[in-house]
């Protein structure tokens, strides 16, 4: 029997759709000695983490905590707790992750209506109004930041619309939390979920969720048990927020340490400053990408600052270019999903990785790789355009 050697992976700059590089302070926090999951010290850490999550979600929701699993479990937590068999639900899809919400809602045995938009587009308020008026659902599911297309769905007025029709609004904020404006209470979002490995600058493994009082009332009024025992909030809430903490599962202690430190970093920077940083670096990257001839997959008025999805030049080998970026420059970017598979690259500037050094390095590397693939690129054009955006 041969024992594998010690882990020594080559260094990477993770500029794909996630995970992003964790902040060094987060990695240090993960080396903190373990505590028991019901140790009084750890319960205090859980309380601090939940309090900071409320600040980052911009909410006062009591039921706010990180699910001990990845972002998709956050999606499933919201839907399985709020949808009972036979409930009318509308789920809107404008890309890969909207389709995933549809799949989960179907498994909840919802009476489902789907609203679809072309990839790279978003839904307008009148479309949503017409659908809610016709269907009268109990739940509306929307992706705030569609990771597959780089499109940002405006949510500022949707919660008000949902209250007009007595509908619960569920929002996928996996790629928006900690990167772009997200105001759960002000926008009337009833349930939101995210992940730890993107805008919060932590490793993957936790899925922050938050539920409004309206959503909790729906949960408490269920006629049937939640179909998932592990994700049943009627069981989990006492562990994360009850006065008498009850065992539900063994929390991932080191990941909670990581999230706590990641949230501290977010709040030290300030939400407004953090949102502005992501937008500034996006504008520089966009100027550089367009200077080397790459166009975005999302409409100009709805492009995500933190996830830049661009079309691959005709005749360019997607996989070969991404392999060269990885092997020669140590840079990971994402390929396309679904309708955009083989047609797009997804470049993430999220959390700790949203900074000028990331922008300039990936532009310089892309120029070299594209030129090597036979694409006509003016040497230095992308970097020069980004630098002009920074200094202009």
Give the predicted TM-score (pTM) of the model. Answer: 0.96
Q: What integer is the mean pLDDT of 245-249?
A: 87
Confidence of residue 242 (pLDDT cuts 50, 70, 90): low
3-state SS of 257-273 is HHHHHHHHHHHHHCHHH
Report d(CA 177, CA 104) in Å as an integer.
22
Q: Helical H runs in 208-270?
A: 213-220, 233-241, 253-269
Q: Which of 167, 245, 263 has its CA nearest to residue 208?
A: 263
pLDDT at residue 67, rounded to an integer: 97
What are the residue ranges of CATH 3.40.640.10 in the chain?
24-268
Q: What integer is the mean pLDDT of 326-336?
A: 97
SS3 113: strand
- Residues with Cβ within 8 Å of 317's Cβ and at least 6 positions away in sequence, in order, are 373
Q: What integer is the mean pLDDT of 47-57?
A: 98
pLDDT tens digit sequence for 281-318: 999 999 999 999 999 999 999 999 999 999 999 999 99
Answer whether 64's CB lies under 8 Å from 209's CB. Answer: yes
Q: Which of 178, 117, 184, 105 has its CA nearest to residue 151?
A: 117
pLDDT at residue 1, rounded to an integer: 86
286: left (phi over 0), alpha (psi -120 to 50) or beta: alpha
pLDDT at residue 241, rounded to an integer: 77
Q: Exposure pattern of 245-281 as b/e (b: 16+ CB <10 Å)?
A: beebeebbbbbbbbbbbbbbbbeeeebeebbebbbbb
pLDDT tens digit sequence for 263-275: 999 999 999 999 9
The average confidence (pLDDT) of the chain is 96
pLDDT at residue 185, rounded to an integer: 98
Beta bridge partners of 192: 171, 210
pLDDT tens digit sequence for 69-112: 999 999 999 999 999 999 999 999 999 999 999 999 999 999 99
Report d(CA 341, CA 171) in Å as an integer.
25
pLDDT tens digit sequence for 183-235: 999 999 999 999 999 999 999 999 999 999 999 999 999 999 999 999 999 99
CATH topology of domain 271-391: 3.90.1150
Q: What angle do CA 178, 305, 78 make, to 5 degrees?
A: 45
Decide if pLDDT at 247 tops 90: no
Higher pLDDT, 125 or 1: 125
Question: Does the structural domain 24-268 have CATH classification 3.40.50.150?
Answer: no
Beginning with the edge strand found earlier in the chain, give each strand of the sheet holding 111-116 in spatial order.
Answer: 63-67, 207-211, 191-193, 168-172, 139-143, 88-93, 111-116
Q: Which of 208, 203, 251, 204 has its CA nearest to residue 26?
A: 203
Report d(CA 180, CA 173) in Å as an integer.
10
């Amino acid at each position: 029997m041969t024992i594998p050697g010690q882990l020594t992976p080559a260094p990477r700059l993770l500029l794909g759709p996630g995970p992003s590089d964790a902040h060094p302070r987060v990695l240090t926090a993960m080396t903190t000695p373990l505590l028991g999951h019901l140790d009084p010290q750890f319960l205090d850490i859980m309380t601090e983490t939940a309090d900071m999550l409320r600040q980052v979600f911009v909410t006062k929701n009591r039921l706010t905590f990180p699910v001990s699993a990845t972002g998709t479990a956050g999606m499933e937590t919201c839907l399985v707790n709020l949808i009972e068999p036979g409930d009318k639900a509308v789920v809107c899809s404008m890309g890969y992750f909207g389709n995933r919400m549809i799949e989960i809602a179907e498994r909840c045995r919802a009476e489902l209506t789907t609203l679809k938009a072309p990839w790279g587009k978003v839904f307008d308020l009148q479309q949503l109004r017409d659908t809610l008026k016709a269907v009268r659902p109990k739940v509306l599911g929307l992706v705030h930041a569609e990771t597959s297309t780089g499109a940002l769905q405006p949510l500022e007025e949707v919660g008000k619309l949902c209250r007009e029709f007595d509908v619960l609004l569920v929002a996928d904020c996996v790629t928006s939390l900690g990167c772009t404006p997200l105001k759960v209470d002000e926008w009337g979002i009833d349930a939101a979920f995210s992940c730890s490995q993107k805008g919060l600058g932590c490793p993957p493994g936790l899925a922050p969720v938050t539920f409004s009082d309206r959503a909790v009332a729906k949960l408490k009024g269920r006629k049937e048990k939640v179909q998932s025992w592990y994700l049943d909030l009627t069981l989990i809430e006492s562990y994360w927020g009850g006065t008498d903490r009850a065992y539900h599962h063994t929390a991932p202690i080191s990941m909670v340490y990581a999230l706590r430190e990641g949230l501290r970093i977010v709040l030290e920077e300030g939400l407004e400053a953090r949102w502005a940083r992501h937008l500034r670096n996006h504008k520089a990257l966009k100027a550089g990408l367009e200077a080397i001839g790459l166009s975005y997959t999302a409409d100009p008025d709805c492009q995500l600052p933190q996830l830049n999805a661009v079309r691959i030049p005709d005749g360019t080998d997607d996989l070969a270019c991404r392999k060269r970026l990885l092997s020669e420059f140590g840079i990971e970017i994402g390929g396309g999903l679904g309708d955009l598979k083989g047609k797009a690259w997804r470049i993430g500037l999220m959390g700790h990785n949203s900074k000028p050094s990331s922008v300039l390095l990936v532009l310089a590397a892309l120029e070299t790789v594209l030129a090597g693939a036979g694409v006509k690129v003016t040497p230095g054009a992308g970097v020069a355009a980004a630098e002009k955006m920074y200094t202009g």
